[in-house]
Homo-oligomer: A and B are copies of this chain.
Amino acid sequence: MSQGKRIVLASRPHGEPTSANFRLEDYTPPTPGAGEVLLRTIWLSLDPYMRGRMADGPSYAAPVPVGGVMEGGTVSEVIASNNPAFAKGDIVLSRAGWQTHVLSDGKGLAKIDPKIAPISTAVGVLGMPGMTAYTGLLEIGKPQAGETVVVAAASGAVGSAVGQIAKIKGARAIGIAGGKDKCAYVKNELGFDECLDHRDPNLAAKLKEACPKGIDVYFENVGGAVFDAVFPLLNAFARIPVCGLIAHYNDTEAHAPKWAGAMMRNILTKRLTFRGFIVSDFAAMHGDFLRDMSQWVREGKVKYKEFVTEGLDSAPEAFMGLLKGANFGKQLVRVGPDKA
C-alpha cells in the first residue's frame, strides 16, 4: 500500500484564500474493518461552494474544521472491500474529500458504470454541477420557448449546462464569461446565441443589446457586476434561481448590489421571483436528471469541457484559480490513475 496524502484546512481565509490556508499531510491509508471498503481517489472535483466550507459563517452546511480534510466530491476506486455491496475494482461516486484514500461503510456511495460515459463526468455534467444546472433552471427558472435566459460563468461546469438546456427548451441563451477564448467557445462550440466578456467595461450596454426583449430567467451564480448589468433588464415575471455568488465569496464585508435600494420595489412591480437553492433540495429529481442529461450528452446536445490539473498537490492552487476564473471548463484534479 502506497503512502496516503491529504490536504487539510490549515487556517480560515480572510478574503482570498492563500496557500497558507492549506496544508499537505502524509498518512497511512487505513485498513477496512467489518462492512467497510477502502477507496482510492481517481478524480477530485473542485467547486466554488468549497469556499463556503472554509469559513465558519452561517450557511447551509457545517464548515470544515481547522485541521480537517477539505471536503469534496470524488470518483474513487474500491481497492479493498469487506462490504458485500461493493467489489474490488468498482468505481464509485464518493465524498472522499481532498485525499488519496478513505474508508467508507458504503453509505452514500453510488456505483458508476464506466461504459455509459467517462467516469469523470460523474462529478461534472452527469453529476452535481450538471444536476445543479438542470434542477435550478427547470424547477425555478422554468424557461419557455422564445424567452431569454442569461447565465454567467458560461464556460464553467454549471453555466455551460444551463445555457445548453435553455437552448433545448427553445429559449435564447446569453452567456457571460471571462475573456475572448471562453466567449468564443460558449458561442461557437456550445451554441449559445451570444456570449459577453464580464471584463468588458461596456458590459451593461452590450447585455442590453444582446437581450432586446429583456431577460426572463437569470441563473445567478456570480453576483457582482454581472447582477448589476442584469437587474434593470429583468422582465415582468422574471425568475432568478440563486445558485451561487462567486464574485462575493472572498468579500470581507457585505457589499450591497448597485440596485439594492430598488430591489424590493422591483420584485413587487415586476412580479419577480428570487429563489435560492442547492442541488440537494431537488434530490427527488435525480432520476429525471440522469435520464435527460445522459441522453442529451449522447446526442451531442449538451457538450462539456474539463480542465484538469495533475496530482493532489495541485488542488489548492487550482482551487484558488477557480475562484478567479483561471479554469476553462469543469475543474478536476487527477489524484490517481483510472486503474491502480
**Contact surface of A with B, Cβ cutoff 8 Å:** 52, 58-60, 220, 223, 227, 236, 242-245, 248, 253-257, 260-278, 281
Give 7 new A-B contacts, CB below 8 A, not counting A60-B269, A267-B274: A59-B269, A245-B265, A256-B256, A267-B276, A268-B276, A269-B276, A273-B274
Q: Give the residue of B244, B266, B271, B277 whose beta carbon is less than 8 angstroms from that of A271.
A: B277
- Contact at A267–B255, with CB atoms within 8 Å? no
- Contact at B275–A273, with CB atoms within 8 Å? yes
- Contact at B248–A254, with CB atoms within 8 Å? no
Main secondary structure on chain A at its contact with chain B?
mixed
- Contact at A268–B254, with CB atoms within 8 Å? no
Distance to closest chain B CB from A238 (angstroms):
10
- Contact at B58–A264, with CB atoms within 8 Å? no
The distance in angstroms between the C-alpha atoms of A267 and B275, with both chains bound, is: 6
**Among the interface residues A58, A242, A277, which one has the most CB atoms of the partner chain B within 10 A?**
A242
Identical chains in the assembly: 2
The distance in angstroms between the C-alpha atoms of A263 and B267, with both chains bound, is: 13
Residue of B nearest to A273 (CB): B275
Show 15 residue pairs from A and B whose CB-CB distance is below 8 angstroms, ordered by the A residue: A60-B271, A242-B267, A242-B268, A243-B268, A245-B264, A245-B265, A245-B268, A248-B264, A254-B262, A257-B263, A257-B264, A260-B260, A266-B276, A271-B276, A273-B275
- Contact at B264–A261, with CB atoms within 8 Å? no
Chain B residues whose CB sits within 8 angstroms of the CB of A266 once the complex forms: 276
Chain B residues whose CB sits within 8 angstroms of the CB of A264 once the complex forms: 220, 223, 227, 242, 245, 248, 257, 274
- Contact at B58–A269, with CB atoms within 8 Å? yes
Chain B residues whose CB sits within 8 angstroms of the CB of A269 once the complex forms: 52, 58-60, 276
Residue of B nearest to A269 (CB): B59
- Contact at B248–A265, with CB atoms within 8 Å? yes
Distance to closest chain B CB from A337 (angstroms):
37
Residue of B nearest to A274 (CB): B274
Residue of B nearest to A239 (CB): B275
The distance in angstroms between the C-alpha atoms of A255 and B259, with both chains bound, is: 10
Distance to closest chain B CB from A242 (angstroms):
5
The distance in angstroms between the C-alpha atoms of A14 and B116, with both chains bound, is: 65
- Contact at B223–A270, with CB atoms within 8 Å? no
The distance in angstroms between the C-alpha atoms of A266 and B59, with both chains bound, is: 9
The distance in angstroms between the C-alpha atoms of A269 and B249, with both chains bound, is: 12
